[in-house]
Chains A and B, each alone.
Chain A
Amino acid sequence: MQQSSSKHDRAQPESLEVEEYKPSAGDLHVTVFAPRTPEPKDFRWDKTTLVGEAASQAAIFFGYKGGNPGLQKGDHVLDNKKSLEQAGINNGDKLELVDTGGGV
C-alpha cells in the first residue's frame, strides 16, 4: 500500500519548509499603463477574470472615479464581457486603460 504524505505531515517542525510561490496555471501577470499616470503598475489576475472586472480594479488603483473602464492591447480595445484568456491576454502583456463609453 502506498503511503500518503499529507500537508499535515509536512508541517511537522523538523520538516517545515516555505514553498516558493508559484502562480497557478490561471494566473496572468500583466503590466497596465494609464494615460494619466507616468508609471505603469503590474497586476496579477486569473485568466478567467473578465476584462471589465480587471479594468475596473486597475482604474481604481490609478484613481479613476466613474466612467466605463476598459483595457486596450496595442491598438485593440478588448471586449469587457470576455475573460482575459478569451481576449487573448498572455503573461507579460502590456495593456492600457481606456474608457469604453460612447458618444453622440
Chain B
Amino acid sequence: MLPRDTTILVVKRELEDARTWVTRHGVYLKWDPDKLEIHVAMEQPSTGDMFYLLGRFDNYREEPPEWLFCDERWARIVEKKYFPQPQSVSIGSTFLSSGPKAPVICAPFNRLAYAEHDGPHNDWGGSAQWITPKGNSVYAAVIGDMLQVIRRDLIASKGRMG
C-alpha cells in the first residue's frame, strides 16, 4: 500500500495539470485529501441532468482509482439510476455498462472493473497492470485523461440506466 502522503502529492499534481480541462468544460471538481476522494459534477447535454462522479484514490498509482456515478452527496451507493444510459456512439463502444452484478465504468482505469474488486474483468491482468495499454480498450493514464473519456461517454449518453 502506497503511503497516503505520496498519493496526495500525485493526485494534487495531476489535478493541477488538468485544471485547464476542468475550466474549459465548466466541470465542478472538488478534491478531498482527507478522504482521498474527488467529487465531480457534469451535465448530460441530451437531458440537462447533472451526473455525479466519485473517484477514490487510496493506493493510487499502484492501482487505478475507483470511479463510480453516485448521488448528489457523493455517497458510495452503486445504483443504476445514478449511471447514464449509453447510446450507440460513432467511435468504438461505450464503457458505461450495466454489468453482470452492478453498473460499472468498465474501463482499465477503473479499479471497480477488475474481478479482484468484484468487477467483470479477469482478463486485464489484474488492477496492478492497469497502466499497460490494452489494445482497443480505452486508455487513460492520468486523472485529466480519465475525466476526459468519462465525459466523452456521458456526452454520448441519454437518460439514466434505471
Contacts and interface: CB of A to CB of B under 8 A. Distances in A.
B47 interface: no
For the complex, would chain A's binding face be called helix, strand, loop or mixed by DSSP majority?
Answer: loop
A17 B21 CA distance: 44
Contacts of B17: 36-38
A79 B20 contact: no
Interface of A: 33-40, 64-68, 70, 72, 75, 77, 79-80, 96-104
B139 A39 contact: no
B148 interface: yes
Residue of B90, B91, B96, B107 ringed by the most chain A CB atoms within 10 A? B91
Nearest to A96: B148
Contact of A102 (B14, B18, B21, B94): B94
A98 B14 CA distance: 17
A68 B133 CA distance: 9
Contacts of A70: 91
Contact of B106 (A75, A100, A104): A104
B41 interface: no
A72 to B, nearest CB: 7
B147 interface: yes
A46 B89 CA distance: 27
B152 A102 contact: no
A100 B91 CA distance: 6
Nearest to A72: B152
Interface in B114-162: 133, 136-142, 144-145, 147-149, 152-153, 155
Contacts of B24: 33, 96
B19 interface: yes
Interface string B80-102: 00000000011111111100000
B138 A103 contact: yes
A103 B91 CA distance: 11
A98 B92 CA distance: 12
A103 B19 contact: no
B94 A101 contact: no
B138 A101 contact: yes
A30 B152 CA distance: 21
A66 B17 CA distance: 20
Given A75-B45, A96-B148, A98-B152, A103 B95 contact: yes
Nearest to B110: A103
B139 A66 contact: yes
Given A98-B152, A104-B106, A67 B91 contact: no
